[in-house]
């Protein structure tokens, strides 16, 4: 059942674009935003999908969770896998399978956000798309390894965003 007055789907890219691969979320949002104005976009998102660059404002993201029925979060996630690996998590899988206190590579992470949302009885359908970073040093571009999987990542997000 969809919530009254709620918007349908949000793709929320989180991360710090000044820490190379940690900027994967904002880079995805930038790509989809720019490609929506071009006719050669091969990754069609449904018309009811909104795009937001959540940056590194973990706690502030709770506001977005209240406004949407479905939220797809894209973030760099330390999973101990080869750099560039893409993994799709449910919130419960994410909290259980990530061995660190924070699912995210920055401050207030996605795991804390999920816990807070549950405590506040905010329950949108949440999907986390994690990308294993290879380089979190200071710099503005994604590493070659993560960049090489970028179109696979866009395809994954496009499929998840489609209505069932």
Q: How many CB atoms lie within 10 A of CB 18?
A: 11
Query: What is the per-residue pLDDT for 37?
Result: 63
DSSP symbols for 49-83: EEEEEEET-TGGGHHHHHHEEEEEEEEEB--SS-T
Query: What is the per-residue pLDDT for 99?
Result: 42
Say whether pLDDT at 151 is over 50.
yes
Give the chain's domain count: 1
The segment with the largest mean pLDDT, out of 3-12, 61-70, 145-154, is 145-154
Residue of 9, 44, 43, 27 whose CA lies nearest to 127? 9
Asked whether residue 108 is assigned to any structural domain, the reply reads: yes
What is the average per-residue pLDDT within 138-150? 95
Asked whether residue 92 is assigned to any structural domain, the reply reads: yes
Please give the mean pLDDT across all residues of the chain: 82
DSSP symbols for 86-136: EEEE-HHHHHHH--SS-SBSSSS-HHHHHHHHHHTT---EEEEEEE--S--
Asked whether residue 26 is assigned to any structural domain, the reply reads: no
pLDDT tens-digit series, residues 29-39 = 999 988 766 55
C-alpha span between 122 and 46 (Å, rounded): 24
Query: What is the per-residue pLDDT for 41?
Result: 59
Higher local confidence (pLDDT), 110 or 122: 122
Asked whether residue 88 is assigned to any structural domain, the reply reads: yes
Percent of the chain surpassing pLDDT 90: 43
C-alpha span between 139 and 151 (Å, rounded): 21
Asked whether residue 7 is assigned to any structural domain, the reply reads: no
Asked whether residue 12 is assigned to any structural domain, the reply reads: no
Query: What is the per-residue pLDDT for 4?
Result: 53
Range of the domain at 67: 49-142
Joined together, the tokens standing for residue 109 give 């992470």
Query: What is the per-residue pLDDT for 95?
Result: 61
DSSP state for residue 162 in the 8-state scheme: S
What is the average per-residue pLDDT within 116-129? 85
Instruction: Tell me the chain's radius of gyration from C-alpha atoms.
Output: 15
pLDDT tens-digit series, residues 62-99 = 888 888 889 999 999 888 899 999 999 887 776 654 44
Asked whether residue 155 is assigned to any structural domain, the reply reads: no
Asked whether residue 106 is assigned to any structural domain, the reply reads: yes
Query: What is the per-residue pLDDT for 103?
Result: 46
CATH number at residue 124: 3.40.50.1450
Residue of 21, 18, 17, 19 whose CA lies nearest to 147? 21
């Amino acid at each position: 059942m969809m919530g009254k007055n709620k918007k349908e789907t949000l793709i929320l890219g989180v991360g710090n674009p000044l820490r190379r691969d940690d900027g994967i979320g904002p880079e995805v949002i930038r790509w989809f935003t720019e490609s929506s104005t071009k006719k050669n976009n091969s990754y069609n998102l449904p018309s009811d999908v909104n795009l937001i660059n959540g940056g590194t404002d973990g706690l502030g993201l709770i506001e977005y969770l209240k406004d949407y029925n479905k939220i797809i979060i894209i973030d760099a996630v330390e999973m101990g896998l080869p750099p560039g690996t893409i993994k799709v998590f449910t919130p419960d899988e994410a909290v259980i399978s990530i061995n660190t206190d924070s699912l995210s590579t920055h401050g207030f992470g996605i795991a804390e956000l999920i816990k807070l949302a549950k405590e506040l009885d905010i329950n949108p359908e949440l999907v986390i798309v994690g990308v294993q970073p290879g380089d979190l040093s200071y710099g503005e571009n994604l590493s070659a390894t993560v960049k090489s999987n970028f179109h696979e990542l866009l395809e994954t997000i496009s499929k998840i965003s489609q209505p069932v």
